């Protein structure tokens, strides 16, 4: 075990994949320079600029190049620097990558990984802070993963590169330099396997990416009041490990679904609906959702801090689930201002 960061884990996994398979190439804006967060630092030095390709600011074409290369036999890992710019590559991703295998009657495969990062917290404004993963989950043919820690990032990236399908790999910039312990060669993580981070009997908190850490904090606060929360990170949105999520909710009878994206139309709605369909007879309370308000991401620090969902909102939503049929007078105290 040694101490590492999310960025280092992704970087070392890319290097490992490139060493093991010469079909793996990396392309994107400034990747040979390491990119703004140093995720690809050192790769061009080791593998050359033929395999670690800087591209112009042409997200649509770069994504298309990666698709063409993938269906011709390479295993490209393409980087879209901020998920906000994925709008420019959506035609290629949604109309080409996602459908090539299907439309060709199974002849073509697109073993492509599209790495990108989202999330707020850097005061970067409404065009560099979004969480747009839900759009991608609506396209059959794409897989969507959201690692929430360095070990999962390494394990999921290994699996994603080996997968014959297009995988969108959504990182969260706020996790990049979080320190954690990691083994030398982290094991691969299957896409579609949730991870139970904390066991509990009173309610289930399903939280993605950064919010899994917030959910664990909220669970500690809940434990102070004698409420034991089970915390699960689905790790992949498509395919979704409904079995693990629903299995937990069948035992606890209550669920909170939390993500950083805007609540309305977010993937939490899909998770809540699927859990609801699968566990209706076991539910003791309506499934609660935690996410961002229906506004663009503001810049001003107090506004952005209020915008970003965190442990307080999860704690409050968990209490809403536990106490939904209790009168106001006997409820537990909420922390902060409650849900945004």
236-269 burial code (b ≥16 CB/10 A, e <16): bbbebbbebbbbbbeebbbbbbbbbbbbeebbbb
Beta strands in the chain (DSSP E): 2-5, 24-28, 52-54, 75-80, 113-118, 143-145, 167-172, 179-182, 195-198, 203-207, 229-233, 236-238, 255-262, 288-292
Instruction: Report the C-alpha gap between 267 and 260 in whole angstroms.
Output: 10
Q: Which of 194, 119, 189 is nearest to 156 (CA)?
A: 189
101 lies in the site for another protein, by CB under 8 A: yes
Inter-residue contact 301 to 122 (CB < 8 Å): no
Q: Which is nearer to another protein, 88 or 196 (CB)?
A: 88
Q: How many residues bind another protein (CB under 8 A)?
A: 44
What is the distance between the alpha carbons of residues 223 and 97, in angstroms, rounded to a whole number? 45
59 is catalytic: yes
Counting contacts by CB under 8 A, is residue 46 touching another protein? no
Q: Is 58 in the site for another protein (CB under 8 A)?
A: yes
Asked if 137 is part of the footprint of another protein (rule: CB under 8 A), the reply reads no
* Strand order from edge to edge, sheet including 113-118: 52-54, 24-28, 75-80, 113-118, 167-172, 143-145, 236-238
Min dist. Cβ of residue 102 to another protein (A) = 5
214 counts as catalytic: no
Which of 17, 26, 66, 314 binds another protein (CB under 8 A)? It is 66
Q: Smallest distance, Å, CB 92 to another protein?
A: 7
Contacts of 310 (CB under 8 A, 6+ apart): 211, 214
Residues 182-221 that bind another protein (CB under 8 A): 191
Q: For 297, which DSSP code?
A: P
Stretch that binds another protein, among 33-41, 64-72, 126-134, 150-158 (CB under 8 A): 64-72
| Residue 163 interacts with another protein (CB under 8 A): yes or no | yes
Query: Which range of residues in 107-115, 215-223, 225-233, 316-324 is near another protein by CB under 8 A?
Result: 107-115
Calpha distance 38→333 (Å, rounded): 42
Span near another protein by CB under 8 A; candidates 71-79, 171-179, 214-222, 320-328: 71-79
Q: Which of 5, 40, 92, 244 binds another protein (CB under 8 A)?
A: 92
Among 39, 43, 52, 69, binds another protein (CB under 8 A): 69
Q: Which of these segments, 32-40, 63-71, 251-259, 320-328, binds another protein (CB under 8 A)?
A: 63-71
- Of 67 and 216, nearer to another protein (C-beta) is 67
> Which one of the listed residues 29, 59, 171, 214 is annotated catalytic?
59
What's 318's DSSP letter? H
Q: Give contact residues for another protein (rule: CB under 8 A).
A: 25, 50-51, 55-56, 58, 60-74, 76, 91-92, 95-96, 100-109, 140-141, 143, 162-165, 191
Which residues form the catalytic set?
59, 128
């Amino acid at each position: 075990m040694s101490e590492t960061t999310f960025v280092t884990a992704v970087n070392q996994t890319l290097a490992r994949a490139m060493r093991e398979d010469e079909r793996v190439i990396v392309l994107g804006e400034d990747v040979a320079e390491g990119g703004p967060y140093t995720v690809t630092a050192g790769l061009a030095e080791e593998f050359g600029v033929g395999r670690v390709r800087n591209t112009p600011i042409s997200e649509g074409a770069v994504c298309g190049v990666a698709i063409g290369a993938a269906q011709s036999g390479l295993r490209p890992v393409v980087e879209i620097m901020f998920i906000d710019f994925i709008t420019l590559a959506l035609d290629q991703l949604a109309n080409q990558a996602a459908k090539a295998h299907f439309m060709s009657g199974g002849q073509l495969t697109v073993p492509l990984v599209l790495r990108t990062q989202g999330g707020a917290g850097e005061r970067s404004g409404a065009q560099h802070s979004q969480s747009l993963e839900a759009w991608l989950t609506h396209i059959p043919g794409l897989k969507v993963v959201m690692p929430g820690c360095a070990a999962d990032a390494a394990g999921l990236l290994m699996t994603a590169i080996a997968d014959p399908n297009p995988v969108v790999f959504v990182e969260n910039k706020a996790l990049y330099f979080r320190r954690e312990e990691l083994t030398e060669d982290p094991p691969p993580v299957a896409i579609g396997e949730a991870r139970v981070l904390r066991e509990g009997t009173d309610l289930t908190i399903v939280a993605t990416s950064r919010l899994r850490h917030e959910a664990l904090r909220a669970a500690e606060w809940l434990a102070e009041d004698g409420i034991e929360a089970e915390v699960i990170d689905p790790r992949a949105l498509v395919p979704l490990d409904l079995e693990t999520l629903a299995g937990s909710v069948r035992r606890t009878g209550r669920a909170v679904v939390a993500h950083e994206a805007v609540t309305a139309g977010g993937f939490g709605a899909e998770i809540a609906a699927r859990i609801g369909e699968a566990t209706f007879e076991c539910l003791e309370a309506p499934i609660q959702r935690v996410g961002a308000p229906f506004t663009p991401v503001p810049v001003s620090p107090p506004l952005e801090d209020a915008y970003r969902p965190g442990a307080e909102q999860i704690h409050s939503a968990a209490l809403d689930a536990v106490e939904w049929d209790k009168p106001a007078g006997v409820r537990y105290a909420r922390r902060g201002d409650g849900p945004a």
